[in-house]
Amino acid sequence: MDLSTHKVSIIVSQGSLEGIYPALIMANGARAEGMEANLFFTFFGLDAVHRQRHEHIKISTVGNPGLHMATWAGGLPGVSSVMTHYMERKMEALDIPSIPEFIEMISDTGAGLYACQASVDLFGLTKDDLIDQVEGIITVGDFYEMAVDGHIIYT
């Protein structure tokens, strides 16, 4: 396949299940097509690569129009956990890996994973707070340099 784009840089800014999976799917697809792929985790997207949080990502039920009828109850205690469990079971049946497994798999294909310096500083984090697959903490300027001659995708 002749692709006119050979590189994608994907910004992950949301820390919810529905905010993280699209970025991972896009990066995985890019790598499967032989494209260079880099993920830039910023703001709440850092939860995807935070040692203590990446295994506990939930669906955002409040204000999520995609949940249709479940949205009206989204703010009630436990609804987010129930919906997350429901979606995880559906994804498992489709053989979609968990977020930690997916990130490890994508990293193993050679995709770059980077944390946003400003967000790391904002939340008082260090490299030790992030999973091993994160290659570095970089500035927005570094991210743009990395993205040159490719496309930037914001999920």
Express each pLDDT in 108-134 by its tens digit.
999 999 999 999 999 999 999 999 999
Residue-wise pLDDT for 40-62, tens only, equals 999 999 999 999 999 888 877 66
- pLDDT of 68 reads 53
Closest CA to 17 of 40, 45, 50, 38: 45
The pLDDT, as a whole number, for residue 81 is 78
Residue 13 lies inside a defined structural domain of this protein: yes
The confidence score (pLDDT) of residue 88 equals 79
Within a domain: 26: yes
| Domain, as residue range, for 147 | 7-55+98-154
Mean per-residue pLDDT of the chain? 88
- 1-7, long-range: CB within 8 Å, 24+ apart, which pairs? 1/33, 3/33, 3/34, 3/35, 5/35, 5/150, 5/151, 6/35, 6/36, 6/149, 6/150, 7/35, 7/36, 7/37, 7/38, 7/147, 7/149, 7/150, 7/151
Most confident of 29-38, 64-73, 93-102: 29-38
Q: Is 115 contained in some domain? A: yes
Residue 69 pLDDT more than 80? no
Residue 21: per-residue pLDDT: 94
List the Cα angle 53/41/13 in 5-degree steps.
90
CATH of the domain at 23: 3.40.1260.10
Residue given tokens 């009206």 in the structure block: 72
Domain total of the chain: 1
Higher model confidence: residue 100 or residue 86?
100
- pLDDT over 50 at 1, yes or no: no
- Is residue 73 over pLDDT 70? no
Between 10 and 72, the more confident residue is 10
